[in-house]
Amino acid sequence: MSDYAKGLEGVIANESALSKVEGLEGRLSYLGYGIDALVENCSFEEVTHLLHRGKLPNAAELSSFEDELRGDRKIPEGVIEFLKGAPKDANPMDVLRTAVSMLGLYDPRAKVGEPDQEANRHVALSLVAQTPVIVAYFHRARQGLDLPPVRGDLSEAAHFLYLMTGEEPSAAAVKTLDIAYTIHADHGMNASTFSARVTIATLSDFYSAMTSAIGTLKGPLHGGANEGVIKMLKKIGELDRVDAFVEDCLANKKKIMGIGHRVYKVLDPRAPHLQKMAIKLTEELGESKWISMSERIATLMREKKGLNANVDFYSATVYYSLGIPTDLFTPIFAIARMAGWTAQVLEQLEDSRLYRPLTKYVGPATLSPVPPIGER
Ligand SMILES: CC(C)(COP(=O)(O)OP(=O)(O)OC[C@H]1O[C@@H](n2cnc3c(N)ncnc32)[C@H](O)[C@@H]1OP(=O)(O)O)[C@@H](O)C(=O)NCCC(=O)NCCS
């Protein structure tokens, strides 16, 4: 085989039953359930159960799954000390990456070598439970605030909002974040999932795989795009400046964050859910100019380049409207995607093969003698 696919575009590297991304139709489903129906009918916890256990839970299964998740929220004291001592101006994605890596130091279940899937299933759940606590605690620590003990009476979305603000969140905010989590939970062989699978396929441990994934998600061409969107909207400032901004980006081949997708050639099916929430939230806040600017950018990019909005385009406005600081947008993506990353890594271990693609070598065609250092 010598086919060359830059960026592995179009290359199928594994089998997965977890999420189906239909790029030409603009459809996304998890284990045979469409994303729209899941958003309509299920909580993020139910979706996580679906991804981790392969089925939607009944009431009893959901209750014991939630108990396990909520019972796993406490993070080790050593990690708390790190969060308190980390530079206050550190990028929260860097802090999350390091803290998740540290979790592995405290977890004797984190084994390298022959995979113990039963132990891994528990590790996977701990990671889903502890990632939001890390993000919220760092956010509080960097403001010099106390770190309230974790609680067992709140859903994942409610608990994160509670820890972040120290206040009981509104039902509307919880619902909004819960939907955002569901929409972001899994997405085929995206770059960060690929990183996680590559790492675990060497039979490294779960925490190493998640550390790889977080580092990959951080980039502005992947999860980091949601932060880029709000920065872009603030830079443009007013609706009547959008056209000139887009013209300038296109003329100078600058990427517009939140637009375009490697797989979706039509509208990203996750975008309309976030768009709907963004319209409602910005109207409530009396700040509808952000959504008007977004809509104008999306229209221009569709007309001029045939490119559509992706998941990050409207999630940025949703998080902004919830009062979440910009640099926590990508960590929130990581919180949600932890459900998918861990499920994908569990699945990888069921039938694993080392990932080892080839390089098309374009260096010198012939060997040269190595000259002594004084003659180079
Ligand atoms: C997601 C993304 C990396 C996909 O990249 P890709 O499949 O490698 O596509 P390319 O970067 O090769 O783009 C193909 C063409 O569309 C253009 N394009 C793609 N996304 C663009 C964007 N966001 N703004 C402006 N032009 C864009 C490219 O300039 C290129 O144009 P050309 O053929 O005239 O040179 C890319 O669309 C992007 O950078 N988007 C912005 C970041 C983002 O929102 N990421 C989150 C993804 S969920």
Question: What is the best residue among 232, 262, 311, 314 to mutate for testing ligand 1's pocket, by most ligand atoms within 8 Å of CB?
Answer: 262
Q: What separation in Å is there between the alpha carbon of 254 and the centre of ligand 1? A: 9
Task: Assess whether 192 and 92 both reside in one domain.
Answer: yes
Q: Does ligand 1 lie within 6 Å of residue 224's CB atom?
A: no
| Tokens representing residue 264 in the block | 């979706």
Ligand 1 atom 47, closest CA: 222
Q: What separation in Å is there between the alpha carbon of 1 and the centre of ligand 1? A: 28
Task: Assess whether 208 and 267 both reside in one domain.
Answer: no
Identify the bridge partners of residue 34 per DSSP, sorted by sequence position. Answer: 29
Q: Does ligand 1 lie within 6 Å of residue 265's CB atom?
A: no
Do the domain assignments include residue 116? yes
Q: Which of 344, 29, 15 is nearest to 194 (CA)?
A: 344
The pLDDT value given to residue 2: 62
The pLDDT value given to residue 1: 56
Q: Does ligand 1 lie within 6 Å of residue 229's CB atom?
A: no
Pairing of strands 33-34, 19-22: unpaired
Task: Assess whether 153 and 251 both reside in one domain.
Answer: no
Q: Does ligand 1 lie within 6 Å of residue 141's CB atom?
A: no
201: left (phi over 0), alpha (psi -120 to 50) or beta: alpha
Do the domain assignments include residue 18? no
Q: What separation in Å is there between the alpha carbon of 260 and the centre of ligand 1? A: 5
pLDDT along the chain (376 residues), means of 10: 85 96 96 98 98 98 98 98 98 98 94 88 97 98 97 98 95 95 97 98 96 97 92 95 97 95 93 93 88 94 95 92 94 98 97 95 97 97
Look up 184 and say whether it is catalytic. Answer: no
Q: Does ligand 1 lie within 6 Å of residue 312's CB atom?
A: yes
Q: What separation in Å is there between the alpha carbon of 67 and the centre of ligand 1? A: 42
Look up 122 and say whether it is catalytic. Answer: no
Q: What is the DSSP string of 305-328?
A: H---B-HHHHHHHHHHHTT--GGG
| Tokens representing residue 42 in the block | 């299920």
- State the closest ligand 1 atom to the C-alpha of 255, by its place in the atom list counted from 1: 24
Q: Does ligand 1 lie within 6 Å of residue 262's CB atom?
A: yes
Do the domain assignments include residue 10? no
Q: Does ligand 1 lie within 6 Å of residue 310's CB atom?
A: yes
Ligand 1 atom 41, closest CA: 257
Give residues with Cβ within 8 angstroms of 140, minimum separation 6. 146, 147, 148, 163, 164, 166
CA–CA separation, 125 vs 121, rounded Å? 6
CATH number (domain holding residue 211): 1.10.580.10
Q: What separation in Å is there between the alpha carbon of 13 and the centre of ligand 1? A: 22
Tell the burial category of 340 from Cβ atoms under 10 Å away from its Cβ (0-12, 13-18, 19+): buried
3-state secondary structure of 22: strand
- State the closest ligand 1 atom to the C-alpha of 254, by its place in the atom list counted from 1: 25
Q: Does ligand 1 lie within 6 Å of residue 52's CB atom?
A: no
Q: Does ligand 1 lie within 6 Å of residue 259's CB atom?
A: yes
Q: Does ligand 1 lie within 6 Å of residue 261's CB atom?
A: yes
Do the domain assignments include residue 360? no
Q: How many separate domains does the chain show?
A: 2
Catalytic site residue from 49, 261, 268, 273: 261
Task: Assess whether 190 and 233 both reside in one domain.
Answer: no
Task: Assess whether 284 and 301 both reside in one domain.
Answer: yes
CA–CA separation, 308 vs 299, rounded Å? 8
Task: Assess whether 206 and 240 both reside in one domain.
Answer: no
Do the domain assignments include residue 9? no
Task: Assess whether 248 and 184 both reside in one domain.
Answer: no
The pLDDT value given to residue 110: 84
Do the domain assignments include residue 89? yes
What is the length of the chain? 376
Do the domain assignments include residue 65? yes
Provide the domain limits for residue 306: 225-321
Q: Which of 204, 288, 277, 284 is nearest to 39 (CA)?
A: 277
CATH number (domain holding residue 310): 1.10.230.10
Contact by Cβ (8 Å): 140, 164: yes
CA–CA separation, 193 vs 337, rounded Å? 9
Task: Assess whether 252 and 203 both reside in one domain.
Answer: no
Task: Assess whether 186 and 231 both reside in one domain.
Answer: no
117-161 pLDDT, tens digit per residue, is 999 999 999 999 999 999 999 999 999 999 999 999 999 999 999
Do the domain assignments include residue 53? yes
Task: Assess whether 239 and 97 both reside in one domain.
Answer: no
Q: What separation in Å is there between the alpha carbon of 261 and the centre of ligand 1? A: 6
Task: Assess whether 53 and 169 both reside in one domain.
Answer: yes
1-29 pLDDT, tens digit per residue, is 568 999 999 999 999 999 999 999 999 99
Q: What separation in Å is there between the alpha carbon of 353 and the centre of ligand 1? A: 31
Task: Assess whether 111 and 64 both reside in one domain.
Answer: yes
